[in-house]
């Protein structure tokens, strides 16, 4: 069996579904993975995931806030984090006397660890596949950062823009060296193919061992959202709350449950339209194994994107949450967006609506509520054949086929 070293910015127990499920299934297609990833101590919602391959989590942290600040500057201008990662991997390979792999893969967010993967591939003279699940250009201005940069409440837009340009320049330098690039949507491909023409799409997806149709009875009509908001420019549920104030919905007994992180919870709870909704419950993010249970109990699954037409709007974001929701054969509400690739996926799967009309939202929820009253659950007639295209098992096969191709 051939070996691939996977160099990634994040891996379980942190939230990393794309690379986690790849390592779970790729062995079935003739490749044995070995993972090298930065150790991430926050957002450990994948702590229940059991790796099926050797994993090396590398501590790249700093002993103090001051050291961290200098370290981040060093990474920005001198790529010091990449150098530390590269040296750590070389040390592990030497210590354990590991054989040279047949290929290298990288999984990145902004840019790290593209340089590390590129230099290892060059040293060993082997193919290098770079996967870009997220790119800076997809975000609203500044939202590629964990939190906005500000001083005394003043948003430092110019500095955010400069950081974005530096990261993009560095990223493109290493993407040009890649034998193959993969990404997650048609829009992402249109951007990255200008850097490396050998760019193809492998969509995000769902694990069919965890996410599948389930129509259990529920004592309450629940609208459920799982995930972060990042910002209201990225994901804005305002139209839902406008619909909930309508005559059709204002007196219905239902709950709106947001399972999200602390930053998103603070952002949501600060909005007047959210404060006015007594049926809203803001709850902590859940471990990955709990998500299928939550979605199975949902009467309506809420998915958030944003209109891609404006210059500063988010672009091409087809998140894991979209595909997991599709697989459950539950009604989905995607908002506030009426066109784009995510909308086409919802329509082809026949699993809900995408809209920015609070009136249309109200009518849809009211109709589902009546169905729920009769059956104690909701469902859709899913285009199952279409949805199966996005299983994580199938995506692992696509990655393996690309690795075979670039040998």
pLDDT tens digits, one per residue of 19-63:
999 999 999 999 999 999 999 987 788 988 999 999 999 999 888
Predicted confidence (pLDDT) at residue 312 exceeds the cutoff of 80: no
Determine the 3-state secondary structure of 347 from DSSP: helix
pLDDT of 190 strictly over 90: yes
Supply the pLDDT for residue 378: 97
Distance (Å, rounded) from C-alpha 140 to C-alpha 337?
A: 15
* Candidate from 102-106, 186-190, 316-320, 341-345 with smallest mean pLDDT: 316-320
- Looking at residue 311, its pLDDT comes to 67
By the 8 A CB rule, do 380 and 158 touch?
Answer: no
For CA atoms 132, 7, 64, 42, the dihedral sign is positive
**Residues 340-344: contacts with CB within 8 Å, 24+ apart?**
340/305, 340/308, 340/316, 341/185, 341/186, 341/187, 341/316, 342/303, 342/305, 342/317, 342/318
Cis status of the peptide bond prior to 318, with omega within 30 of 0: no
Contact 194, 171 (CB under 8 A): no
- Nearest Cα to 108, choosing from 130, 83, 87? 130
Question: Under a CB-based contact definition with an 8 Å cutoff, are residues 354 and 337 in contact?
Answer: yes
Pick from 112-121, 138-147, 226-235, 398-407: least confident: 138-147
- Pair 235, 261: CB distance under 8 Å: no
How many Å apart are CA 232 and CA 168, to the nearest integer?
A: 24
Of the listed ranges 145-159, 231-245, 261-275, 373-387, the least confidently predicted one is 145-159
3-state helix vs strand vs coil in the chain, percent to 5: 40, 20, 40
pLDDT given at position 272: 96
Query: Is the confidence at residue 148, as pLDDT, over 80?
Result: no
Average pLDDT, the chain: 93
CB-CB contact of 140 with 161 (8 Å): no
Domains of the chain: 2-205+391-405 (3.40.50.2000), 221-388 (3.40.50.2000)
The whole-angstrom distance between residue 30's C-alpha and the CA centroid of its chain comes to 26
Q: What is the pLDDT of residue 276?
A: 96
Say if residue 73's pLDDT is above 90: no
Query: How confident is the model over 260-294, as pLDDT tens digits?
Result: 999 999 999 999 999 999 999 999 999 999 999 99
User: DSSP H helical segments within 55-201, as ranges?
Assistant: 65-78, 80-95, 114-124, 157-175, 186-192
Burial string for 278-311 (b: 16+ CB within 10 Å, else e) reads eebebeebeebeebbebbbbbbbbbbbbbebeee
**For residue 324, pLDDT beyond 80:** yes
CA–CA separation, 388 and 9 (whole Å) = 28
pLDDT digits (tens, 9 = 90+) for 2-18: 999 999 999 999 999 99
* pLDDT band (50, 70, 90) for residue 186: very high
Q: Name the helix (H) or strand (E) containing 351.
A: none
pLDDT of residue 211: 96
- 195: closest CA among 206, 212, 207, 183? 183
The more confident residue out of 98 and 151 is: 98
User: What region does 259 belong to: left with phi over 0, alpha with psi -120 to 50, or beta?
Assistant: beta
Widest pairwise Cα distance in the chain: 69
Reported confidence tier of residue 310, pLDDT bands at 50, 70, 90? low
pLDDT in tens, 373-402: 999 999 999 999 999 999 999 999 999 999
User: Residue 320: what pLDDT?
Assistant: 93
């Amino acid at each position: 069996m051939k070996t691939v070293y996977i160099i990634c910015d994040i891996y379980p127990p942190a939230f990393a579904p794309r690379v986690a499920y790849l390592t779970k299934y790729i062995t079935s297609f003739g490749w044995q993975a070995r993972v090298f990833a930065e150790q991430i101590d926050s957002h450990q919602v994948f702590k229940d995931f059991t790796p099926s391959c050797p994993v090396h989590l590398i501590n790249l942290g700093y002993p103090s806030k001051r050291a961290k600040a200098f370290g981040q500057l060093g990474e920005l201008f001198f790529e010091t984090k990449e150098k530390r990662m590269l040296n750590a991997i070389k040390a592990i390979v030497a210590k354990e006397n590991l054989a040279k792999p047949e290929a290298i893969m990288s999984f990145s967010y902004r840019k790290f660890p593209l340089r590390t993967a590129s230099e290892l591939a060059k040293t060993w003279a082997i193919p290098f596949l770079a996967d870009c699940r997220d790119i800076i250009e997809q975000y609203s201005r500044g939202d590629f950062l964990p939190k906005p940069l500000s001083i005394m409440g003043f948003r430092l837009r110019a500095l955010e823009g400069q950081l974005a340009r530096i990261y993009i320049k560095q990223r493109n330098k290493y993407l040009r060296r890649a034998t193959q690039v993969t990404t997650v949507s048609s829009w992402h491909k249109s951007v990255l193919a200008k850097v490396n023409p050998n760019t193809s799409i492998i969509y995000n997806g769902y694990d069919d061992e965890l996410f599948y149709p389930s129509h259990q009875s529920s004592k309450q009509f629940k609208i459920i959202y799982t995930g972060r908001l990042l910002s209201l420019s990225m994901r804005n549920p305002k139209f839902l709350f406008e619909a909930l104030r309508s005559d059709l919905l204002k007196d219905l007994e239902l709950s709106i449950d947001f399972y999200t992180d602390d930053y998103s919870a603070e952002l949501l709870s600060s909005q007047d339209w959210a404060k006015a909704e007594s049926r809203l419950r803001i709850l902590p993010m859940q471990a990955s194994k709990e998500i299928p249970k939550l979605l199975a109990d949902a009467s309506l699954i809420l998915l958030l994107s944003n209109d891609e037409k404006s210059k500063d709007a988010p672009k091409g974001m087809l998140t894991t949450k979209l595909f997991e929701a599709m697989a459950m054969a539950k009604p989905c509400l995607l908002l506030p967006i009426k066109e784009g690739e995510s909308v086409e996926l919802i329509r082809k799967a026949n699993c809900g609506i995408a809209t920015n009309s609070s009136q249309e939202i109200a009518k849809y929820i009211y109709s589902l509520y009546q169905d729920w009253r009769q059956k104690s659950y909701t469902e859709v007639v899913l285009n199952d054949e279409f949805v199966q295209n996005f299983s994580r098992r199938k995506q692992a096969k696509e990655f393996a086929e690309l690795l075979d191709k670039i040998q």
